[in-house]
Amino acid sequence: MMKHMLSLYFIMGSGDCTRDPLTVLDEAIQGRITMFQFREKGKKALTGLEKYRLAEKLFERCKDHNIPFIVNDDVDLALALQADGVHVGQDDEAAARVRDRIGDKYLGVSVHNLAEVQQALAAHADYVGLGPIFPTVSKDDAKQACGLAMIEHIRTYEKHVPLVAIGGITEQTARQVIEAGADGIAVISAICRAEHICEQTKRLYETVMHAKRRGDG
């Protein structure tokens, strides 16, 4: 179940969009995203009531289409909305503490190596987000790219952990990421900055699902 939900994981905040975020999400949903993360960070990020109201509207869209809605690094917001889960990075609130606060909601943790994967699992994370796989322009604070080899390395030791790969992934590289062992791809600009969002999302979805079917065969 979780491994399917991670197939095409769309991450977005208002600062990532050149158009209305609700329109962007609507088109991405039509294109068959399987999970959504609200990540409102950066210099122009909304705060307070404005942030809450945007999150609320985006959450409604996801609920209408049974798409899990994850909040990035804001446990209070996730609890206020009754969102489906929370995602935290290595520099955010400790995963074990977040797990205590959110109960049985989904918990995702950003990781960069095997040791961090194992720490996340010890904190009862439901999935890990590994990256950046390739260099990325979407995050100001992105670490050095770890490459496809890191996916393969983690899979050698943690065969069953639900793992989504993030960072610079495009339609051209998505297949390689799945073949290396990821359960899905997480993207920001590959959808947000597409000229035709619905069509681009559909192509990403089909690429991932085709690669996953080949891997199962």
Residues serving a catalytic function are 39, 110, 139
> The tokens 């990540």 sit on which residue?
39
Residue type at position 18: T
Residue 199 Cα distances to 12, 87, 100, 194, 203, angstroms: 18, 27, 40, 9, 6
Contacts of residue 131, defined as CB under 8 A and 6 or more positions apart, other chains included, come to: 110, 112, 142, 145, 146, 165, 166, 167, 186
CB distance 177 to 195 below 8 Å: no
β-strand partners of 107: 86
* Of 209, 214, 169, 188, the residue nearest 32 (C-alpha): 209
